Chains A and B, each alone.
Chain A
Amino acid sequence: MKMLGLSRKDTTFLLIVIALTLFTPILLQPFPEGSGLATFNAGYPDLMQRFAIFGIFAIGFNILFGLTGYLSFGHAAFLGVGSYSVVWMYKLLGYSVVPGILLAVVVSAVFALVIGFISLRRSGIYFSILTLAFAQMSYNLAYSVLTPLTNGETGLQVYTNDPQVLMGENSPTSPHFFGIVMNESSKLNVGGWEFTFNNGYYFTAIVAILVFYLSMRIFRSPFGLMLRAIKTNQTRLNYTGLNSRPYTLAAFVISGMYAGLAGALMASMDPLAGAERMQWTASGEVVLMTILGGAGTLMGPILGAGFIKYFENIFSKINDNMLHQWFAWMPDGIENFLIGVSHFFVGKSWHLTLGLLFMLVVIFLPGGLVEGGQRIARRFRSRKSKDDGSEAQTQPAE
């Protein structure tokens, strides 16, 4: 089956992604409530929304870093700009998310155009440092001089005396999309399982599917081909009559718009915007997500985003009490020893686990989790064809 200008393979891929996204509330809830493993369930609205939002952030970042190889260390600035735009629209117009999201995409595009135009005069480490400097500048400005716009340390939020000119008598009093209120959920209980279907999650998930489709089209387009060519050999590109600057700038602006959209969705779920969203750690996080999942692949950034967000939220919740429960069946000495060791990897120390995993992936799977998946698939395929008695054929990597 072919549709929407995609090849058969890509269409199948897209349909799988859509199915996974729509069934996430069920898939991430594999353990019954109250069981010892229920901690590992991730099917609650707040976390699922974050999967989708950071997925969008990483998909956009991948268009710049994965395709052109330009490593931006300042993409969190666009995230912040997106959030502020949305909250301002809440304050001025009302709680509909539509004007805010549109404004966020436009503002972050303009912002990216300016930062990109200057930063892209350099490449390599100098480009990274320039983007980092811009993001830190935005962060510090948001805290200080721009307080009238950003409300400084308190963060931007909606107050009762804000104009909200489009608010009617019966309008919802929290973010909504044409009356669909983001923080409302319906719950479904099946046996011991509880599934939460949250409006906000489905809104972000549908936006994520749309922008994933867009990134797929970009990957397969002549424009995407030029971006990959820039990563490989800029000299040849220039001597082939192509001007790399506008291509990289376009990629930068597109990925900035994705980041702005992600920021806008954050504020659509929770009507707040703070300067800490622009901090360099947030910029670094999206770099980790993309590399961990597999830079330059379609699925990689989404996997990376999901992986990191899962660890951040699930591993950090594990505390010593839970460890005691899990290891209770062991002899006391060993139990205490295991708890002592595990202590370094869970709870507040989850960063250590993430760091180790990141190191393992970078050293053994330079192509990220996607490469890991491909290797496993290849092993299965070659085993299967051996069983059939036919020769294993190597296919050129797409």
Chain B
Amino acid sequence: MGILEVKNVGKRFGGLQALSDVNLSVQENSVHAIIGPNGAGKSTLLNCFVGKLIPDTGSVMFNGQSVLGLKPHQINQMGISRVFQTPEIFSDLDVMENVMISCFARRDGSFRMHPFETVAHETDIVEQAEKMLTEVNMIDKRHMHASSLSRGDKRRLEMAMCLAQEPKLLLLDEPTAGMARADTNNTIDLLKEIREKRDITMAIIEHDMHVVFSLADRITVLAQGTPLVEDTPENIKGHPKVKEAYLGEAA
């Protein structure tokens, strides 16, 4: 049994069958990549995991519990964090506050009325956030306004916010989209480092083959809403069906 079990998932938007019969099993502590050409349904599938979309058919089980019909914040509290294609951060707040919000969410749950405590006096939260920022090499930027960060740093910050919650499963939606080569390599290194340091499962959607082949343990190729093949990176590289559907098109 994988940590994330997807069975027979189908989703239709009007006349478009975006997903049909998707079966997927993400093993604990592995990195599972989902690749496929544009419009293959990768993002739709991801949105079904986090509560943004509810599939028409099938089931999505996380740790043996169904996530269907739950709100995004409830799914997050179960242990699934998500990194977006364009970094979603609190850009009007400073870097430290961004990470502290995640720490509060982990400690206090989805809602707690605490109007008369003071953020600066929550020493455990401050310590956690500082530790997290040190881990992603951003501690010297902790008083910076999040909107003034570079694209790469925004991604780092978002990653730090997700990791501060110590999720069991981290979903990454094209984490290197639109990045320069150097930033992409930094992100790969960061992800590798995260993997070594903690027990974490990652599901990653990516266009960049370089990223996929340097990180993934398993790869699922999605085409026209259905999984074509699922295998190790070595086998995927030479797979004729994949070449036809994806790599062929890219070349």
- The reply to whether chain A is a binding partner of chain B is yes
Residues on A facing B (Cβ under 8 Å): 5-7, 217-218, 220-226, 228-229, 231-233, 235-243, 246-247, 250, 254, 396-397
Residues in chain B near residue A229, CB distance under 8 A: 90, 93, 97, 101
Q: Which residue of A lies closest to B145 (CB)?
A: A396
Chain B residues within 8 Å of A228, by CB: 90, 92-93, 97
Contact A240 B105 (CB under 8 A): yes
Q: Is the CB of A239 within 8 A of B106?
A: no
Contacting pair B92 A221 (CB below 8 A): no
In the assembled complex, which residues on chain A have CB atoms less than 8 Å from the CB atom of B145? 396-397
Nearest 8 Cβ contacts at the A-B interface? A241-B76, A243-B110, A232-B92, A236-B88, A232-B90, A241-B105, A223-B115, A246-B111
CA distance A5 to B89 in the complex (A): 29
Contacts of A239 in B (CB 8 A): 50, 72-73, 76, 81-82, 84, 88
Task: Of the listed stretches B7-15, B117-125, B198-206, name the one at the interface; the rest are far from the partner chain.
Answer: B117-125
Closest A residue by C-beta to B143: A396
Flag whether B144 is at the interface (Cβ < 8 A). yes
Contact pattern, B 94-116, Cβ under 8 Å of A = 1, otherwise 0: 10010011101110111111111
Q: Tell me whether A238 and B113 are in contact in the complex, defined as CB-CB below 8 angstroms, given that A232-B90, A233-B88 are known contacts.
A: no
B137, CB-defined interface residue at 8 Å: no
B178 to chain A, nearest CB (A): 19
| Cα separation A397 to B115 with both chains bound (whole Å) | 23
Q: With the chains together, A224 CA to B122 CA distance in Å? A: 14
Q: List B contacts of A397 (CB < 8 A).
A: 145
Q: How many A-B residue pairs have CB under 8 A?
A: 115
Whose C-beta in chain B lies nearest to the C-beta of A251? B115
Task: Report yes or no: A221 in contact with B111, Cβ–Cβ below 8 A.
Answer: no
Asked if A240 contacts B111 (CB within 8 A), the reply is: no
Q: Given contacts A232-B90, A235-B88, A241-B165, are A222 and B76 in contact (CB under 8 A)?
A: no
Separation of A224 and B50 alpha carbons in the complex (Å): 27
**Considering the chains assembled together, what is the distance between the CA atoms of A223 and B112 in angstroms?**
8
Query: CB distance A240 to B161 under 8 Å?
Result: yes
Return chain B residues, CB-CB under 8 Å to A233.
88-91
Output the least CB separation between B210 and chain A (Å).
27
22 sampled A-B residue pairs with Cβ under 8 A: A5-B118, A220-B119, A221-B115, A221-B119, A222-B108, A223-B114, A225-B93, A228-B92, A231-B92, A233-B88, A233-B90, A236-B161, A237-B90, A239-B72, A239-B81, A240-B81, A240-B102, A241-B109, A241-B110, A242-B111, A246-B113, A396-B144
SS of A interface (majority)? helix
CB distance from B120 to the nearest CB of A (A): 7
What are the residues of chain B within 8 A of A241 when measuring CB–CB? 73, 76-77, 105-106, 109-110, 165
State whether A218 touches B104 (Cβ < 8 A): no
Tally of B interface residues using CB under 8 Å: 44
Contacts of A243 in B (CB 8 A): 71, 73, 110-111
Most buried by B among A6, A7, A242, A396: A242
A250 vs B113: C-alpha distance in the bound complex, in angstroms?
A: 8
Question: CA–CA, A224 to B161, complex, Å?
Answer: 19
Contacts A240-B73, A241-B165, A250-B115 given; 11 further ones with Cβ under 8 A? A218-B115, A220-B118, A229-B101, A233-B88, A237-B101, A238-B76, A239-B72, A240-B161, A241-B106, A243-B110, A396-B143
> How many Å lie between the Cα of A233 and that of B91 in the bound state?
8
Bound Cα distance A240, B158 (Å)? 10
- How long is the Cα–Cα vector from A238 to B118 in the complex, in angstroms? 23
The answer to whether B72 touches A221 (Cβ under 8 A) is: no
Task: Let me know if B111 and A225 touch, CB within 8 A.
Answer: no
Find chain A residues with CB under 8 A from B101 CB. Answer: 225-226, 229, 237, 240, 242
Query: Using Cβ atoms and an 8 Å threshold, which residues of chain B touch A223?
Result: 112-115
Q: Using Cβ atoms and an 8 Å threshold, which residues of chain A touch B161?
A: 236, 240
Shortest CB–CB separation between residue A332 and chain B, in angstroms?
56
Contact, CB under 8 Å: B115 / A217: yes
In the bound assembly, the distance between CA atoms of A254 and B115 in angstroms comes to 11
Q: Please measure, in the bound complex, the distance between the C-alpha atom of A73 and the C-alpha atom of B203, giving whole angstroms.
A: 44
User: In the complex the two chains form, what is the Cα distance from A224 to B84 in whole Å?
Assistant: 25
B223 to chain A, nearest CB (A): 28
CB distance from B5 to the nearest CB of A (A): 21
Instruction: Tell me, rounded to whole Å, the shortest Cβ–Cβ distance linking B94 to chain A.
Output: 7
A240-B165, A241-B77 known; A225-B110 Cβ under 8 A: no
A396–B118 CA distance with the chains assembled, in angstroms: 20
With a CB–CB cut-off of 8 A, which chain B residues contact A238? 71-73, 76
A238 to B117, CA, bound (A): 22
User: CA of A228 to CA of B84 in the docked complex: distance in angstroms?
Assistant: 21
B114 touches A221 (CB 8 A): yes
Chain B residues contacting A237 (CB-CB under 8 Å) are 73, 90, 101
